[in-house]
Every structure is written in structure tokens, then in C-alpha cells.
Copies of this chain bind each other. A is one copy, B any other.
Amino acid sequence: MATTQEISTIVNGVPVCDLFATIDAVKTTPSLAKFKFRISNQWQGGSCNLSTVGPFTGANQELAHPRPFVLEADEPEVLLGRDLAANPVEYLLHALASCVTTSMVYHAAKRGIHIHQVESFIEGDLDLYGFLDLDEGIRKGFREIRMHFKMDADVPEERLQEVFELGTGHSPVFDSLTNGVPVKVTAEARRFA
């Protein structure tokens, strides 16, 4: 395809040629786009637990990361933890920031928009009055999340909003979090030896 061969450079650190090749391959074989991501989590006592990122399914293959990524979680002392790691809601904010950023960078690269630097600041409001069962009317989750981006890119300032919307408009985490996801939970008793 002429279009893909003409663009052979790296834009924003993204191999744009491979990106167009991926899009072409997926157009021909839509099942290549179906992914299943997985983690397993082990409770370590109290507020401590850790997840291991497992192999995933994608591009019609079972794929593994080169090494297991282990993610710890804890709670700060004010929430009765030992503050050894970020807490679950902080991980959620990281998932959101990183996903919107990567989605923006990829889709800008696809359009030939050069980005030089991006920073974002994310804040979320949580009222633990709900978590503590003191008022059923107060939700357990975030009431609101605010993201503020600062970016240096080769676009006129009036087009900046458009570029950010490439991120929010394509990000799997942004869509999951703003529109919700069905989560199915199953459980079994197990005596661990």
C-alpha cells in the first residue's frame, strides 16, 4: 500500500510504518484485534497485596511479557496500611493518565502530528463516608476525576484541544472508566495447603 510505504519514519517514538501495517492487517483479519489481558493477585495480609501481570491473548496468539511485572498495593497509614506502595485508587489514576497519553501519542503519530513533551496531573475525589457504610447515598467510588495536560507539540494553540481529544477519544481506560464496564465475579472456597 503506497500510503504505508511513504511513511517510514518514527513519529513521537511510534513506528508509524508498523502502525499502518497493523491497521491494514486488522482490516483484513478483524480477529487480530481481539485481546485478553490478565493479572493474578495474591493477598499478603492487611492492606498489602500484589498482582503479577500474566500472559495475554492478542493477534490470534498467546503472548507473554519478557518478564513478569509485579505490582504491589498498600494503603497509607491514615487508612490503616503500612504505606509500602501506591494504593488501588492511585493505580487507577495512573492507568487513566498513561492510557490517555499513549492513545494521544499513537493517534497523533498516525496523523503526522509531532509531539515533543507531555505532562499530566490527575486528581480524584473520594468520600470514604460511603466506604465506611455511614451513608448509603454516598458512592464508594470516585465522585469526579480531573486531568490537566501540558503539552509541547507542533500544532497551533487553537488545535491543541483536538490533539487531546485524540487521547480521550481513543483511550481504552478513559472509555472504560467514564462509560463503565460489566464486571462478572465468581468465587470458590479453597483450602490452601
A80 touches which of B18, B42, B96, B143 (Cβ 8 Å): B18
Task: Map CB proximity to B onto A121-135 as digits: 1 under 8 Å, 0 otherwise.
Answer: 111111111011110
Would you call A122 and B41 a contact (CB within 8 A)?
yes
Which of under 10, 10 to 19, 20 to 34, or 35 or more describes the interface residues of A? 35 or more
Would you call A85 and B69 a contact (CB within 8 A)?
yes
Query: Would you call the interface of chain A mostly helix, strand, loop, or mixed?
Result: mixed
Please, which residues of chain B bring their CB within 8 A of the CB of A41? 94, 97-98, 101, 119-122
A2 at the interface (CB under 8 A from B): no
Q: Which residue of B lies closest to A125 (CB)?
A: B36
Answer whether A89 and B99 are a contact pair too, CB < 8 Å, given A40-B121, A119-B43.
Answer: yes
Could you name 27 residue pairs across A and B whose Cβ atoms are closer than 8 Å? A33-B132, A37-B90, A39-B122, A41-B101, A47-B102, A49-B97, A51-B94, A51-B97, A69-B85, A71-B94, A88-B98, A88-B171, A88-B172, A89-B172, A92-B176, A116-B192, A139-B175, A142-B176, A144-B181, A144-B183, A146-B186, A149-B187, A151-B187, A152-B189, A152-B191, A153-B189, A177-B180
